[in-house]
């Protein structure tokens, strides 16, 4: 018997009663009811009442190959039939885990050939944090424990992830910020460096890393973690001068470099990894989201040969999750990567979709509400300001970016807001026509907010 679909009102009521949501104000949820999303295909999703949206955020920066690919469903089904689960603890492995570890190693930057599996970006960052500290213990430098990261960065929601991240509200909730984390100025020219050239500011932001290392003493610093392009924190590509200097500083002071590629991995920047786009040579590279295009929860921590040689000589690695290398999630990831390769999705982002998307984004640069349009590949952001010439900001209570997002929902597109920044990260398979549609509608929404503010 086919089940009659539940009404939106009934779902909202049950949701309100029983479902505790992440990153949601329960009071607002109770007042307004949740938005129930029921179906997805390609770059589009439908809510429970049949309204269609072009998903300009690929879910949460993750559905890279688009919704509804049956091949993944088939591969997952056959994996469940063959072997639904087996662990990778105590010297065990499954063929699917091994195949995925080998496949990931073939895609990562040179020398990152040892893959530790998890199920989320957050746990990948916990893994990286434990491994770098363990590494320094084994190297006889047990004081090297502090990890430096960037203000505004998002690295996850576990205690370690939130401590690594640079979001004050997350530090405050539950007194989460642990000892052993330092946050420094990010390479965010629009907020921190508009009085100088981008090149000079890039050097200044990199210098902030060296200053922090020197202040604490290099003997106390284990690692620096950053995304090649900050994602959730506002889509912030660093000036060209930033990464080369950061790389040098890490080397000079014996500080390990962790690239958090949870968003930038798997084609988002027009390469398999953002580390290729910015010529970064990390000691650890974390990935999640695009690894399975969100079809299954899986993350991976790629560890360098040099680091792994030290870790391997250090006895048992006392770390791992029941679902590390879950065979079903590995199967979904393998099929996702096969699709990306066969359909040349990374090349499509690099040569077609990315350039078109960036051109369209730059058309907003002289909009009266836009202070900066920035991005790379299929990542984009618009910095909304009251007066672009003076850089005068809106008061946060104005909620201008959130109001644009709300108008987006009314007009069939999904964008995301952080502070006064509008963010875009569509599925990588988006066509150039769909990119035009996304930005045409975004412009309409931004114009509407500009009119409400008496600016247009
Ligand atoms: N790192 C980065 C860069 C992220 O963007 C995110 C999630 N947005 C995470 C880590 C955490 O991933 P997850 O939500 O899967 O734990």
One domain, residues 167 and 239: yes
Q: Residue 365 has what pLDDT?
A: 97
CB 296 within 8 A of CB 119: no
Which CATH number belongs to the domain containing residue 55 in this structure? 3.90.1150.10
State if residue 232 touches ligand 1 by the CB under 6 angstroms criterion. yes
| Count of the separate structural domains present in the chain | 2
Do β-strands 379-384 and 421-424 pair in parallel, antiparallel, or remain unpaired?
antiparallel
Mark which of 287, 317, 342 sits at the end of a domain.
342
CB 222 within 8 A of CB 147: yes
**Quick count: other Cβ atoms within 10 Å of Cβ 274?**
28
Give the tens place of pLDDT for each residue, 96-132. 999 999 999 999 999 999 999 999 999 999 999 999 9
Domain span at residue 245? 71-342
CA distances from 343 to 85, 127, 379 (A): 29, 32, 20
Point out the ligand 1 atom lying closest to the alpha carbon of residue 261.
3
One domain, residues 337 and 385: no
Whole-complex ipTM? 0.99
Query: Over 80: is that where the pLDDT of 48 sits?
Result: yes
pTM of the model: 0.98
Which CATH number belongs to the domain containing residue 94 in this structure? 3.40.640.10
Look at residue 18 and tell me if it is in a domain.
Answer: no
CB 249 within 8 A of CB 209: yes
Give the tens place of pLDDT for each residue, 57-86. 999 999 999 999 999 999 999 999 999 999
Look at residue 282 and tell me if it is in a domain.
Answer: yes
One domain, residues 201 and 148: yes
Which of 157, 263, 290, 298 is the pocket-test mutation for ligand 1 (most atoms within 8 Å of CB)?
A: 263
Give the tens place of pLDDT for each residue, 144-198. 999 999 999 999 999 999 999 999 999 999 999 999 999 999 999 999 999 999 9
Give the tens place of pLDDT for each residue, 230-278. 999 999 999 999 999 999 999 999 999 999 999 999 999 999 999 999 9
Mark which of 319, 342, 365 sits at the end of a domain.
342
One domain, residues 284 and 429: no
Q: Residue 391 has what pLDDT?
A: 81
One domain, residues 364 and 326: no
One domain, residues 320 and 402: no
Which of 265, 266, 273, 289 is the pocket-test mutation for ligand 1 (most atoms within 8 Å of CB)?
A: 289
One domain, residues 213 and 326: yes
One domain, residues 47 and 97: no
Tell me the CA–centroid distance for residue 104 and ligand 1, in Å.
Answer: 19
Look at residue 1 and tell me if it is in a domain.
Answer: no
Residue 1, classed as helix, strand or coil, is coil
- Of 131, 141, 137, which is closest to residue 225 (Cα–Cα)? 131
Look at residue 373 and tell me if it is in a domain.
Answer: yes
Point out the ligand 1 atom lying closest to the alpha carbon of residue 289.
15
Look at residue 24 and tell me if it is in a domain.
Answer: no
One domain, residues 90 and 176: yes
Look at residue 270 and tell me if it is in a domain.
Answer: yes
Mark which of 304, 322, 342 sits at the end of a domain.
342
One domain, residues 250 and 223: yes
Look at residue 261 and tell me if it is in a domain.
Answer: yes
């Amino acid at each position: 018997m086919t089940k009659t679909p539940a009404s939106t009102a009934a779902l909202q009521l049950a949701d309100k009663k029983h479902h505790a949501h992440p990153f949601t104000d329960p009071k607002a949820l109770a007042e307004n009811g949740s938005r129930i999303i029921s179906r997805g295909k390609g770059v589009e999703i439908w809510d429970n009442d049949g309204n269609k949206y072009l998903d300009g955020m690929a879910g949460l920066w993750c559905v890279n190959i688009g919704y509804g690919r049956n091949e993944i469903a088939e591969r997952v089904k056959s994996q469940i039939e063959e072997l639904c689960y087996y662990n990778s603890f105590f010297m065990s492995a499954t063929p699917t885990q091994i195949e995925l570890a080998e496949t990931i190693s073939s895609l990562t930057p040179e020398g990152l050939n040892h893959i530790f599996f998890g199920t989320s970006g957050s746990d990948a960052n916990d893994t990286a944090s434990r491994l770098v500290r363990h590494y320094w213990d084994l190297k006889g430098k047990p004081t090297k424990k502090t990890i430096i990261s960037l203000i505004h960065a998002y690295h996850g929601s576990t205690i370690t992830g939130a401590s690594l991240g640079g979001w004050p509200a997350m530090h405050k909730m539950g007194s989460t910020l642990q000892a052993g984390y330092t946050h420094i100025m990010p390479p965010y020219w629009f907020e921190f460096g508009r009085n100088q050239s981008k090149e000079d500011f890039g050097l200044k932001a990199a210098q902030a890393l060296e200053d922090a290392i020197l202040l604490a003493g290099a003997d106390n610093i284990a690692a620096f973690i950053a995304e090649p392009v900050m994602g959730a924190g506002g889509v912030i590509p660093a000036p060209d001068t930033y990464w080369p200097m950061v790389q040098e500083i890490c080397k000079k002071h014996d500080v390990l470099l962790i690239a958090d590629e949870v968003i930038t991995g798997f084609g988002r920047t027009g390469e398999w990894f953002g580390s290729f786009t910015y010529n970064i040579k990390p000691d650890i590279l974390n990935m999640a989201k695009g690894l399975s295009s969100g079809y299954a929860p899986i993350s991976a921590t790629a560890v360098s040969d040099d680091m792994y040689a030290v870790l391997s000589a250090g006895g048992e690695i006392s770390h791992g999750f029941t679902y590390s290398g879950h065979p079903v999630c590995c199967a979904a990831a393998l099929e996702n990567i096969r699709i990306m390769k066969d359909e040349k999705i990374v090349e499509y982002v690099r040569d077609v979709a990315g350039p078109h998307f960036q051109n369209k984004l730059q058309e907003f640069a002289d909009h009266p509400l836009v202070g900066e349009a920035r991005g790379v590949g299929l990542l984009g952001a618009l910095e909304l300001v009251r007066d672009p010439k003076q850089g005068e900001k809106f008061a946060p209570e104005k909620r201008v970016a959130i109001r644009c997002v709300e108008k987006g929902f009314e007009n069939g597109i999904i964008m995301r807001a952080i502070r006064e920044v509008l963010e875009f990260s569509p599925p990588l398979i988006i066509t150039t026509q769909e990119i035009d549609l996304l930005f045409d509608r975004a412009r309409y929404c931004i114009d509407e907010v500009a009119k409400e503010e008496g600016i247009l």
